[in-house]
Structure 1
Amino acid sequence: MFEEQFYLHNQTIFKYLYYLLNDEKLAEDFTQETFMRFFKYRQTIKEGAELAWLRSTARNLAYDYYRRKRLIQFVPFLNDHEELEPNLPHQWLIQQEDAKKLYLAISKLKLTYRDVIILRKIEELSIQETCDVLGWNEGKVKNTLKRALVALKKQLGGEFNEEL
């Protein structure tokens, strides 16, 4: 069970931590720590909820790190589906600037807003998966996402497309 879960989810957890931490070495270390905790508590984790448990643990490790550092930041990145055509370098520059502007605006939001935007819009988790990771009910996820998108729109000065 442990090896199977590790091979299924280690890249997902690493990517999530990298988005939160913007540091490859820390993301690797925290991914390892996440799976060490998974191994330790595997008997208590409900079958089928392993990925939610792993994401929650990874998130908690990252937040603990930032609390210790007293530093909260957000990481700019592009999803795989946002790859650019190689013949359009100017398009790449425009997208990079747009991404920087978007992620800078997200970084100014409160943590709960950041969480729900990362999980729902960037990681593209379902509402139920987001509920499982954050420990919230469906209504709270929906309402927080709605408020987060409004706050993001304000941060961007009205230049906002909800599709992210």
Structure 2
Amino acid sequence: MKNFSVKGICEEITFSAFFKEHAKSLRNYLYYKFGNEEQAEDVTQEAFIKLWQNCADVPPEKAKSFLYTVANNASLNQIAHQKVVLQYAQKNTHVHTDGHNPEFLMEEDQFRVKLQNAIAGLSEAQRTAFLLHRIEGKKYQEIADILGISVKAVEKRIHGALVELRKQIDNIR
């Protein structure tokens, strides 16, 4: 974290710099957790609003942790809605044609849907760790910090996700 002034995160310039530094990462984390970009942006904004409202009580060195804790709690409140959101996201995938024959495009689209279903079938813990690592490019330590778990737990979640995806992909062929 960058050095923030003594007044803490309540100073508007400091808060703005903190927002610019962490908003995209938090939004991406929530997108992987929810599977819905609009919802991820909404929860990101809510988390930053709560940080601003509680800025006097949150030391600057704990602000990132506070932000992710608020976001995690929001995600726990919406777990029941998770499957509906993922099904919606799967129905709205777009195919880009670039001169391939229609049979190839159809097979590619079918494989994409099956892969998305396989990823959606992972447990929330596996899916979140897997997407943070493979899509966002986060290191295991970063994922452990974001999720509040050990690096070994991250390794186990990603390994479990890979094993499950390999099973599903072998069934596809």
> In structure 2, what is the equivalent of residue 115 of structure 1?
128
Secondary structure of 2:78's aligned partner = helix
Partners of 2:105 and 2:18 in 1: CA distance:
36
* 2:130 pairs with 1:128: no
Identity %: 27
Structure 1 residue 159 displacement after superposition: 6.0
> In structure 1, what is the equivalent of residue 39 of structure 2?
26
Partners of 1:94 and 1:53 in 2: CA distance:
44
Amino acid at match of 1:46: E
Counterparts in 2 of 1:145 and 1:72: CA distance versus 1, 3 Å: farther
Counterparts in 2 of 1:24 and 1:93: CA distance versus 1, 3 Å: same
Match of residue 143, structure 1, among 151, 156, 173: 156
* 2:161 pairs with 1:153: no
Larger-gyration structure (1/2)? 2
Structure 1 residue 103 displacement after superposition: 1.6
> In structure 2, what is the equivalent of residue 58 of structure 1?
71
* 2:49 pairs with 1:36: yes
Partners of 1:46 and 1:57 in 2: CA distance:
16
Structure 1 residue 147 displacement after superposition: 1.7
Secondary structure of 1:46's aligned partner = helix
Partners of 1:64 and 1:99 in 2: CA distance:
29
Match of residue 2, structure 1, among 5, 12, 15: 15
The TM-score, its normalising length taken from structure 1, stands at: 0.69
Measured against aligned partners, the alpha-carbon deviations of 1:49-96 in whole angstroms (never above 9, x if no partner) come to 73x6544543432231124x47575455xxxxxxx6844485665544
Amino acid at match of 1:61: A
Aligned residues: 152
- For the 8 Å contact 1:6–1:35, the answer to whether it is kept is yes
Moved over 6 A (4+): none
Partners of 1:71 and 1:146 in 2: CA distance:
23
Partners of 1:58 and 1:138 in 2: CA distance:
21
- For the 8 Å contact 2:32–2:132, the answer to whether it is kept is no
* 2:133 pairs with 1:99: no
The TM-score, its normalising length taken from structure 2, stands at: 0.66
Gaps of 5+ in 1: 77-83
Secondary structure of 1:124's aligned partner = coil
Amino acid at match of 2:110: E
Partners of 2:17 and 2:33 in 1: CA distance:
25
Secondary structure of 1:9's aligned partner = helix
Partners of 1:33 and 1:120 in 2: CA distance:
25
